[in-house]
Structure formats: C-alpha cells, structure tokens
C-alpha cells in the first residue's frame, strides 16, 4: 500500500519534470503582437500558470507570451512552439 503511494508520487514528479519548458525567449520578439481575436482554447491550456490571455502574442500564426519583459514561446508537449 505504501509502496504504491510512493510509486504514484514518483511517477507524478517524473511527469512534471517532463513538461516542456523553454530554455530561451523567441529569437525575434519584435515580430510578436497582441492578438485582437480570442485566444484559442489549445493555447490557453498550454500557457504556464499565472500567464493570462492578455500576455499572449502571435507572429505568423505562432503563439508566445510576455513574461518578465521578454517574449517566450508557447510550447506543445513535445517541446516545440505552438503554431497553426
């Protein structure tokens, strides 16, 4: 019973460690602008905690968000930027 709980906790920690995180901001932040349309549902689901729709930017149908004065890519689970 306790072993199963420890295994479940370890699995949860490993999955959390596998979530994509960006190592660097986007290469051309000036290309990204705020969007006038509603933010797509998939993009909202991929935003890091604490990032709002007002922080979302788009360039050439690729999504990013403003954080700490820089523009960071919205990442999909395999670690690449979310683009339509």
Specify the DSSP element, H or E, that contains 17: helix 2-18
- Minimal CA–CA distance to 64: which of 20, 23, 21, 33? 33
Cβ pair 75, 19 in contact under 8 A: no
- Minimal CA–CA distance to 73: which of 43, 40, 52, 50? 43
Delimit the domains of the chain by residue range. Answer: 2-73
Residue partners of 31: CB distance under 8 A and separation at least 6: 59, 60
Model confidence over 19-66: pLDDT tens digits? Answer: 456 689 999 999 999 999 999 999 999 999 999 999 999 999 999 999
- What global pTM score does this model have? 0.73
4 band by pLDDT with thresholds 50, 70 and 90: low
């Amino acid at each position: 019973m306790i072993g199963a709980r420890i295994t479940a906790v370890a699995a949860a920690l490993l999955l959390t460690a596998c979530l994509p995180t960006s190592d660097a901001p986007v290469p051309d932040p000036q290309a990204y602008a705020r969007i006038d349309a509603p933010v797509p549902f998939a993009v909202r689901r991929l935003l890091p905690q604490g990032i709002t729709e007002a922080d979302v930017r788009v360039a050439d149908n690729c999504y990013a968000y403003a954080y700490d004065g820089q523009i960071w890519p919205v990442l999909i689970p395999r670690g690449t930027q979310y683009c339509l």
